[in-house]
Amino acid sequence: NIQERMREPVKAGNVDISVPVVVKSNVKKTYEQLQETTNKNEPGKIGFVLMVRKGNKQQYKQFEADIDSELAQNLRDQELAQKEEKEKVKRLTLNITERFEEEDYQEMMQQQNRPVTQNLNRERKKYQHPKGAPDADLIFGPKRVR
């Protein structure tokens, strides 16, 4: 069992890491400089930052890929899937909330329409226990002589 596990290749986990702000812009740029850089970018390209690790040190390399490239399409598909999932969860949450509100409203309406319950036992006469010794003839019948 241990030997089988040692033969299995080690898979690197996929982790989405946002690019640190320091790497995004090493130097503060003015609005004009930003306009120049956006004009310089080719229209069919999209910018990426690749994180490379050498030991414990992380390095970031910037590159541009075609919009039609598999990397860009997968990224776009992943973002769309995440957006759809978020919308689905939002709709479900709203539906659940609306259903709870509707149930609360229906319960409130039923309580208002419910007639006031009366204690019907109040009018009923209570049993009055006879006082004194019980009548033996009434219980066992008349006395017979032999």
83 C-beta neighbours (distance < 10 Å), count: 10
* CA–CA separation, 99 and 95 (whole Å): 6
Q: Name the least confident of 36-40, 71-75, 97-101, 102-106.
A: 36-40
Per-residue pLDDT at 106 exceeds 80? yes
Q: Is the pLDDT of residue 146 over 90?
A: no
Cα torsion 109, 114, 116, 121 to 10°: value is -150
17 versus 84: which is more confidently predicted?
84
Q: Are 68 and 45 in contact (CB under 8 A)?
A: no
Beta partners for residue 65, in sequence order: 46
- pLDDT single digits (tens) 112-128: 887 766 776 777 777 77
CA neighbor of 71 nearest in space, from 49, 39, 38, 43: 49
**Count of helices and strands (H, E) across the chain:** 5, 2
pLDDT of 75 > 70? The answer is: yes
| 140 beta partners | none
